[in-house]
Structure 1
Amino acid sequence: MVLNEIKPNIVYDIAASGPPHARIYAASVTLNGKTYSAEDTTKKKAKAKVAQMILLCSVQLKDPSVKAPLMEEIMGEAEDFSKDLSEVVCSSEDFYSFETAVTDKVKALPMASVSNAEQAKNNPVFYLNRLKPGIKIEIVKEEGSPHLPIYTARVVIGDQPFEGTGSSKKQAKNEAAQAALQKAFGLERTNPPKPPSAATSSEKPTEAEFGDFIARQIESTYLEMMKNEQPSLSRYKVLAGVVMTQGPTSDGATVICVTTGSKCINGGQLSMEGEALNDCHAEVLARRGLVSYLYDQLNIFNSNPSDSIFESPSGSQNLKLKSDVLFHLYVSSAPCGDARIFTLNESLASPLEDLHPNRQGRGALRTKIESGEGTVPVNESIQTWDGILSGERLLTMSCSDKLARWNVVGIQGSLLSNLIDPIYFHTIVVGSLFHQVHLRRALIGRIEHLQGLPSPFIFSRPVLSTITTPPDRLPAKSPKNSIIWINGWPEHEIVEISKGKLLDGTPSRLSKRHFFFRFMALATTNLEYKSLVQKHVRNGNVSYNSLKKAAQAFGIAKEMLQSSFMIARLGQWVKKPLEQDSFEVPFDGSQPSDDLDRAPSPLGF
């Protein structure tokens, strides 16, 4: 830019050489009978080097008074050049040379040259091609899944092969080239790549490294689980799962659940007995999978407290999660609703800012489309059972809205809030369509004015992270089934989404009814839990809705959350028909028998 202001009519001659994947560009300029030339990996860099050479060697100005504004980018603040000792009078009295004064400043520019070893470190492929013109670096292996691939590249020098791996082809080729430079040419590497985080690593990884680790845990578990299934069943559009760790590192990492799905139940298939799954979006099923795991851990606590993730704090009837136990949610695509709807057009254009923060619709509550995909703004808040059975569309809150709710009321749900303190996700990792601004607004920002929650509820602000290599865009058509697997299950479940039940028509182990039976079974093993249930026995039965309402602090926190959306004029939370939660089960103090079970759960249910 400086040279263009001084010599606006300079013409650069550009020549390219080398293979297509490792071009070398040569730029040259002829000025006052002398030719200046330089090479680099891009035309811009090559031209910049030529410009630097001209500035260092031959720039002269007829009038020194105009030098300051033209050279401000190099010299910084304008100086009094009449006092500059570096100013030298040339043979012609009409010209001044500024070579010495400018040299140090020009050398400090980003385009300044560095050593070959440093350049090799920054661009191994380019410098290997300089040393060995025409050499080929090939991808010889591709492992993992389309969403989280691992590539292996190989280059052969003489008879010796050199290999490198990476999450992209470019990274793998750079690693192979670097290995060749180091071993064949003695160019030592000063910044070796960090190895992937392992489950035994106690060093706290960066957010990107931790996001990659969580995603790979979920992805590899799913691939292993579905390796013997037909491709039509293993195909998915959204994958989700929960990983548990001991602290914010990968220590003791355990995959709790893995789920898929991106649709909801057909309104005509709603169950008044709590036997159907209404929402089969992957992240919603993942939360329910974590709830199932919490029931397992409560059973363990009753038999051997030290082996459970729970502890009993003094002065409280409820159990609480041990302080070093953290849960991390992974979703392969941004949750539907406010976190995604504005991301589609802005992810590439403005990954770190909202281009239209005041545009109508930002932060608004949205509902999912029955038996389909996508969301629409909320325009009604009350649904009736007979209305849905008569053909009205079933309205289900978007995943963005549900994740925002979990940050307030926790992931344990109202029923378990009678027994344990709220539990929150520590990290939420999103694969594709990740936009920091939109995701934070949807999950945290739009309800930050919420205050005064009843103890022990808090407004949780999880770490929002992504992965270094987002999944590719998947086919438009979504599978008809969802896959569910929970840690300890001998096999996974396959749910027919439109009916909310398994392929054989039986209810899932994540259904409301099954959770209710597990809750009642816990009550028979603990006197405090038993007395709680007995307060709600009517004619030998206990209703699901009555025990949900017994968790009063949970109900208050939920109402405060829903009111906060209305106060912010973002819409009114849509509630399901009351009849859905009115089912009952018998209770006489003995362990109930769940007639929905087809196979024992990990702990005997």
Structure 2
Amino acid sequence: MANCKTAVSILQEHCARQGMTPIYNTISQEGLSHQPKFTINCTAGQTVGTGEGVSKKSAKQAAAEAVLQQWEVEIPKLDSVKAETVDPPNPVGQLQELVTFLGWRRPEYDEIEETGPPHDRSFVIGVTVGKFKEQGTDKSKRLAKRTAAKAMLEKIKALPPDTDPGIEPGTTKSKKKQAADAPAAKATGCSLQFAVGQNIDRLRNNPLNFPDAQSCQILQLIAVEQNFATRYIDLPEPGPNNQYQCLVELQTSPLAVCHGTGQRLDSAHATAARNALYYIKMMAQKPPDALIVPTDIKDEFEPPSHKNPVQMLNEMTVTPLDFSMVDKSGPPHEPVYVMSIQLDGQIFTAEGKKKKEAKEAIARKALLTVFGIKSPDNDGLLYARTRPTPSVLYSTWSAQKALICANLIQNLIEAKLREVTLNDGQHRYLKYKVLAGIVQSDGEAVESLKVVCLATGTKCPLAEEPHTKGTIIHDCHAEVIARRCLKRYLMEQLLEYQKNPRSSVFDGGISGILQLKEGIRFHLYISCPPCGDASSFIKEERNMGHNDVHPGRGARGILRAKIKQGESTIPLTGKATAAPERLFTMTCSDKVASWNVLGIQGALLSHLIAPVYLSSVVLGMQYHPDHLPRALYGRLTDLPDLPRGYKLNKPLMVGTSRPSQCPFGASPVAKAPNFSINWIIDLDNIEVIKTDKGLKEDGSSSRVSQEKLFSTYMVIMNKFPSSKGQTTGGSIKQSPQRGSSSKKDKQGKGNVSKEKPQQNFKVGNTYREVKEKAEAYQECKKILKATFLSEGLGRWLERPKECDNFSIVPDQ
């Protein structure tokens, strides 16, 4: 008799004999919708097996086989039952995915010809993508459509990365399609900063109180005037409440993409266009001294508003409005209601004969005070405002300029991510849950902003044994990888300084210690609050306004560690320090806080350069004016005197005016991918790290691993004049003498030790030994840990010392 038992049925029989039941759990689901990949765990007693497959059924079979193989049970081959076959990928879906990633117009299919007798018909289907056309022929319309899509896929994949899809000359569209897509001007990558023109002046100086239906027309008028292209991209997946979704791309400098939803496709286009106009209005603001609103301007395209102030305010806020009635007075025939609302840390109160009137009065005040937007009955300045934390370096910045720069930094990072992934054909790596990057500025001019590195990721590899070669990256969270990338960038700048000091960011300092040139600053962008203390209390206060309603609770400020197989954290106080699920990895909030004391350059580079501090931290969403400053520096305000050159840095902290959006409508709360990418300026291509291993896809170490950074450092030490003639380079011995952290210090330059250079490295020194020789840095680190402990915030975790016991033989 032919065998027809599968691995699942065989395992079920063996478990039944032993009195137990196998348990199957779905671990992950990855890949595109038409080509998924499932991972399933099977637990039978003490045995665990894992299987993968393109369907849950095949993954379940593979997991059962893994358990049976551990039990050494023979799995007979199937005789009468064919192994599960998988349908080939649908080329129609693949083409739709590809053009969406590329930002091209969606494919259009047309029936060209139908021939043959009734019992043997032949269909010809054509597909058009921009100026490209292909045809497919088969015995049914569905198969012909697939053939055409397959041919178009092959054509697009063979095109150069910078191909313009364009529109074939003479191509016509219906009037409805023309109105939706709004013919675009030729893209020139123009900057909206201080743009001039009749239409953009009207937008800049007047509120956006016209009907949504006019948004596309007004956007097109501005696009033609400013000579940039606009392109609408309809998303195939429905949005919240099953609404249509679309994106509008503004081919400005930097590139911008705005999102819109609606019950109809044209209303989704209108919403996206209105959001784009909000963005243009903010980016095109004049300098603060020129923000006086002209009173003699009559706008021809702004009819009276059709939205009341409460509706306008609700659109501008992330969380739902929560009005509360404070008081009710007056006789029954003429009552007076007093309403109140808390918004952006401020309480707004107003009264009216009806609750509706009081709410509208509150909304008018909030629109003008918080957002600087004029409702139909408001008068005042017309620029957006925010409430950033104070900063010594940016004490002269207005709130409006801080918000503009924050939005510009966000757009630069997101545009760079699209550029380095799409241009290299790495579409699958555009997916992320957390994005971080570091932007460099030179002086106060926003034109000097440039992205020096970026990274994505939210996971940590599971290492059972301490790794002692420095090749594995133990923390693949985006902000941590971005900081590693910045250290690599600083090392490259040190090499550049040796060749051509003028083109480097460094300048000669005292006794061989280099420092950043005057005006060079670094700005950290994170798409959401860093894990740990900065984000742990935001969810519980989503409906309670922006202030911390329980600032005195003991859980505030506590050190936390990342846990295994998850993106959560665990406090490091009491018995929790011995929890088996926690890793020897501190949360990102704790790490960024340490950078505000030790600098972002690390122990190795502190031998050569003065401490480098972040000038600002920009959040793409969920910015909280209490939690973020407390987590990143507020809990360290009682630090004792630090070694010379070090200080408690208090960077500017500001949230952007729009939430960070994953590309092309992807949900920011979706399951995190199992890879982390990083990009560094002048090193061109992106690098992909598998987060479950902490290594590259080919099993080699990353360019930002401890091993590679240590190797690059040794090359630098060999090339610097102070290390000439030595095989491993020299060190600047920093004095651990303590001194006051004066506000006059900028980037730790004000009080650098004046000790003479001293050659104190030997061939074969381990990574840990070289780090420990940075005496001032290590002294500062001890003070940081002791402060956390003395304040009752927990003990800083350290990985086993053997993890750093590796050495590098420098290149001669």
Q: TM-score range by the shorter chain?
A: 0.5 to 0.7
What residue is the counterpart of 1:488 in the other structure?
682
Aligned pairs for 1:352-501 (under 5 A) are 353-379=547-573, 393-472=582-661, 474-501=668-695
Amino acid at match of 2:809: P
The structure with more radius of gyration: 1
What residue is the counterpart of 1:218 in the other structure?
413
Judged with a 3 Å threshold, the aligned counterparts in structure 2 of structure 1 residues 258 and 549 are, in CA distance, closer, same or farther, namely same
What residue is the counterpart of 1:320 in the other structure?
515
Give a deviation string over 1:261-280, Cα, whole Å, max 9, x none: 01112123753110111111
What residue is the counterpart of 1:571 in the other structure?
794
* 2:766 is the alignment partner of 1:543: yes
CA contact (8 A) 1:267 1:393 kept: no
Unaligned runs of 5+ in 2: 1-201, 218-230, 233-246, 262-269, 284-296, 305-373, 385-396, 662-666, 732-757
* 2:266 is the alignment partner of 1:149: no
* 2:224 is the alignment partner of 1:124: no
What residue is the counterpart of 2:479 in the other structure?
283
Deviates more, 1:424-433 or 1:225-234: 225-234
CA contact (8 A) 2:573 2:793 kept: no
Alpha-carbon deviation of 1:152? 9.5
Aligned pairs for 1:257-336 (under 5 A) are 257-268=453-464, 270-313=466-509, 315-336=510-531
**What SS is found at the alignment partner of 1:553?**
helix
Pick from 223, 232, 235: which aligns with 2:431? 235
Distance 1:399 1:339 in 2: 9
Give a deviation string over 1:424-453, Cα, whole Å, max 9, x none: 000100111211100011011110111311
**What SS is found at the alignment partner of 2:511?**
coil
Judged with a 3 Å threshold, the aligned counterparts in structure 2 of structure 1 residues 182 and 554 are, in CA distance, closer, same or farther, namely same
Judged with a 3 Å threshold, the aligned counterparts in structure 2 of structure 1 residues 207 and 381 are, in CA distance, closer, same or farther, namely farther
Judged with a 3 Å threshold, the aligned counterparts in structure 2 of structure 1 residues 522 and 342 are, in CA distance, closer, same or farther, namely same
**What SS is found at the alignment partner of 2:803?**
helix
Judged with a 3 Å threshold, the aligned counterparts in structure 2 of structure 1 residues 138 and 397 are, in CA distance, closer, same or farther, namely same
What residue is the counterpart of 1:339 in the other structure?
534
Distance 1:350 1:478 in 2: 29
Distance 1:173 1:459 in 2: 37
Pick from 512, 517, 520: which aligns with 2:711? 517
Aligned pairs for 1:247-258 (under 5 A) are 247-258=443-454
Alpha-carbon deviation of 1:123? 5.9
Give a deviation string over 1:371-405, Cα, whole Å, max 9, x none: 4201110148999xxx99xx875321000000000
Alpha-carbon deviation of 1:136? 5.9
Judged with a 3 Å threshold, the aligned counterparts in structure 2 of structure 1 residues 417 and 259 are, in CA distance, closer, same or farther, namely same
What residue is the counterpart of 1:7 in the other structure?
none
CA contact (8 A) 2:469 2:707 kept: yes
Alpha-carbon deviation of 1:546? 1.1
Question: Percent identity between the aligned chains?
Answer: 32
Alpha-carbon deviation of 1:485? 0.4
Give a deviation string over 1:556-578, Cα, whole Å, max 9, x none: 11111111111110001001110
**What SS is found at the alignment partner of 2:545?**
coil
**What SS is found at the alignment partner of 1:226?**
helix
CA contact (8 A) 1:364 1:377 kept: yes
Amino acid at match of 1:404: A
Judged with a 3 Å threshold, the aligned counterparts in structure 2 of structure 1 residues 246 and 372 are, in CA distance, closer, same or farther, namely same
**What SS is found at the alignment partner of 2:689?**
strand
Judged with a 3 Å threshold, the aligned counterparts in structure 2 of structure 1 residues 344 and 248 are, in CA distance, closer, same or farther, namely farther
What residue is the counterpart of 2:68 in the other structure?
none
CA contact (8 A) 1:257 1:487 kept: yes
CA contact (8 A) 1:382 1:576 kept: no
Amino acid at match of 2:730: L
Judged with a 3 Å threshold, the aligned counterparts in structure 2 of structure 1 residues 341 and 393 are, in CA distance, closer, same or farther, namely closer
Alpha-carbon deviation of 1:541? 1.3
Alpha-carbon deviation of 1:149? 3.4
Distance 1:219 1:269 in 2: 37
Judged with a 3 Å threshold, the aligned counterparts in structure 2 of structure 1 residues 168 and 518 are, in CA distance, closer, same or farther, namely same
Alpha-carbon deviation of 1:316? 2.8
Alpha-carbon deviation of 1:370? 2.3
What residue is the counterpart of 2:136 in the other structure?
none
Q: Which has the higher contact order (CA 8 A, sep 6+)?
A: 1
CA contact (8 A) 2:440 2:451 kept: yes
**What SS is found at the alignment partner of 1:124?**
coil
Aligned length: 436
Q: TM-score, normalised by structure 2?
A: 0.49
Distance 1:425 1:414 in 2: 16
Distance 2:258 2:659 in 1: 13
CA contact (8 A) 2:730 2:761 kept: no
Superposition CA RMSD, Å? 3.8
CA contact (8 A) 1:453 1:560 kept: yes
Unaligned runs of 5+ in 1: 1-116, 130-134, 154-161, 196-202, 593-605
Distance 2:796 2:710 in 1: 24
Alpha-carbon deviation of 1:470? 1.1
**What SS is found at the alignment partner of 2:527?**
strand
Judged with a 3 Å threshold, the aligned counterparts in structure 2 of structure 1 residues 148 and 261 are, in CA distance, closer, same or farther, namely farther
CA contact (8 A) 2:772 2:778 kept: yes
Distance 2:487 2:282 in 1: 44
Amino acid at match of 2:709: F
Judged with a 3 Å threshold, the aligned counterparts in structure 2 of structure 1 residues 174 and 214 are, in CA distance, closer, same or farther, namely closer
Distance 1:171 1:546 in 2: 51
Distance 2:773 2:282 in 1: 60
What residue is the counterpart of 2:84 in the other structure?
none
Judged with a 3 Å threshold, the aligned counterparts in structure 2 of structure 1 residues 481 and 381 are, in CA distance, closer, same or farther, namely farther
Amino acid at match of 2:590: D
Judged with a 3 Å threshold, the aligned counterparts in structure 2 of structure 1 residues 298 and 183 are, in CA distance, closer, same or farther, namely same
Judged with a 3 Å threshold, the aligned counterparts in structure 2 of structure 1 residues 551 and 123 are, in CA distance, closer, same or farther, namely closer
Give a deviation string over 1:507-531, Cα, whole Å, max 9, x none: 0000111111111111111242445
* 2:300 is the alignment partner of 1:183: yes
**What SS is found at the alignment partner of 1:556?**
helix
Distance 1:370 1:294 in 2: 32
**What SS is found at the alignment partner of 1:376?**
strand
Alpha-carbon deviation of 1:137? 5.0
Distance 1:511 1:393 in 2: 22
Distance 1:381 1:292 in 2: 38
